Amino acid sequence: MAPRHSRARSWILPLLLLLRVAPAAAQGQVSITFQVNDAMVKNKVLPGVSIGIARTKKGEQVTGGETDAAGQLKTRLAPGKYYVTYQLDGYVPIERTPTEVSGTAQVITTTLSMMMESVGQADRRRIQIVLNWGSRPEQVKDADSHVVCACDGADPHVFFSTASHRAAGHSAALDVDDTDWGGPETITLLDPPPGTYRYWVHSYSGPPATLGDSDAVVRVVFGDKAAGEYRVPKDLRSRVWKPFKAVEVDRTLEPRVVAFSPEELAAKADVTAPPEQTSRLEESVPAERIRPDSAPARPVRPEESAPTPPSGGSKSEDCPTGTIVFIIVVVVAMIGMVVRAGRKK
């Protein structure tokens, strides 16, 4: 019969391996919060949104669920690229939008536009442009949406300072102006006349955060249909970003998104400040934003700030409770087996 201490050592080695491998496996996934908001009403969260998450654009969903009363779905995902679908009755769905999951906990804010009938506008023509961006503290805090109407009416430039424009049977309005991460910034044009409408994003809060690191995404909706989705280039360092050249409405009142040509992109037309953007183009950190005519900024929710992992250690917040309980049960069981084996002669 093997000595008692030899039998004990035979159990200790697997135990040590388990304690080493199990937490490492748990840390392969990070905490992700999907936050879904309404495009037209500031701070209106959307419960009951069905979210499906797939690893490939045409592949089966690997996980998902519905948002809770706070408009959130919390899950855990391994870092990488996913394709996420958002659906809610009465809202324009978002199908298979590419979504990057980083190596740390993050909040992914997405905004849904109500169907025209749901807002009593079934007989109107609508162009809606919605901007979302990241919620991590090191990302751009305040990003602005700008649009210039195609008409010759007064104040055609719509943004936070001039939030609405009405002329000749049409209107353009900044419905939501978000000043502290995530978005949305929503601009809606109703019954737009024929012509060219220019749109751009401006980083109001400025450096050191850059638009290229902001995870900004612009979605265009024509009526009740998604017309395009545009993501900011990762290498962009300008404070201005034009996701497309323009939206054009033809003489039949049909809208279309006009993309930049390769030559225009090579000439950096997508990052050149338009003439209407006359301020905050310098590469310096501006003073805290103050808008007398704006609503109070919402407080940053705790879950919107990604926790900073301790250097050189494991991220305890990324280790799920179920895994910890499993490890404890296995450890206790193995200690019991060691004790029982030691009592036998």
Question: Which pLDDT belongs to residue 309?
Answer: 35
Domain ranges of the chain: 1-27+319-345, 28-318
Note whether 173 and 165 are within 8 A (CB). yes
Which residue type occupies 130? V
28-32, 59-63, 86-90, 331-335: range with lowest mean pLDDT: 331-335
The reported pLDDT for the residue numbered 217 is: 96
Contacts of 96 (CB under 8 A, 6+ apart): 54, 57, 83, 84, 85
CB atoms within 10 A of CB 70: 15
Structure tokens that stand for 230 in this block: 């545009």
Is 145's pLDDT higher than 80? yes
**What does the mean pLDDT of the chain come to?**
82
Tokens read off for 285: 């950190």
| Residue 343 confidence (pLDDT) | 57
Lowest mean pLDDT among 8-12, 49-53, 185-189, 232-236: 8-12
The whole-number average pLDDT for the span 120-146 is 94
Nearest residue to 150 (alpha-carbon basis) of 187, 197, 188, 200: 197
- Structure confidence at residue 154 (pLDDT): 87
Q: State percent of the chain over pLDDT 90.
A: 64
What does the pLDDT read at residue 50?
98
CATH topology of domain 28-318: Lipoxygenase-1 (2.60.60)
Secondary structure letter of residue 117 according to DSSP: G
Please tell me the predicted confidence (pLDDT) of residue 28: 85
Rounded to whole angstroms, the Cα distance separating 181 from 300 reads: 8
Helix (H), strand (E) at residue 102: none
Q: Note the pLDDT tens digit of each residue in 267-316.
A: 999 999 999 998 887 654 443 433 434 333 333 333 333 333 333 333 33
- Report which of 145, 272, 119, 263 is spatially closest to residue 197, judged by C-alpha positions: 145
pLDDT of residue 27: 55
Token pair, residue 92, equals: 């324009």
Q: How high is the pLDDT of residue 119? A: 87
Burial (CB count <10 Å: 0-12, 13-18, 19+), residue 203: buried
Q: Residues near 323 by Cβ (< 8 Å), separated by ≥ 6?
A: 22, 23, 25, 26
* Six token digits for residue 258: 């006009």
Provide the residue type at 274 as one letter: P
Q: Return the half-sphere exposure (C-beta side, CA atoms, 13 A cut-off) of residue 334.
A: 19
> How confident is the model over 223-238, as a mean pLDDT?
95
pTM for the full model? Answer: 0.74
pLDDT classification of 152: cutoffs 50, 70, 90: confident
Model pLDDT, residue 319: 46
Q: Which residues contact 99 (CB under 8 A, 6 or more apart)?
A: 81, 82, 83, 84, 108
Look at 32-41, 89-98, 148-157, 322-331 and tell me which has the smallest mean pLDDT: 322-331
Closest CA to 80 of 58, 59, 55, 111: 55
Mean pLDDT, residues 316-329 taken together: 51
Q: Is the pLDDT of residue 120 over 60?
A: yes
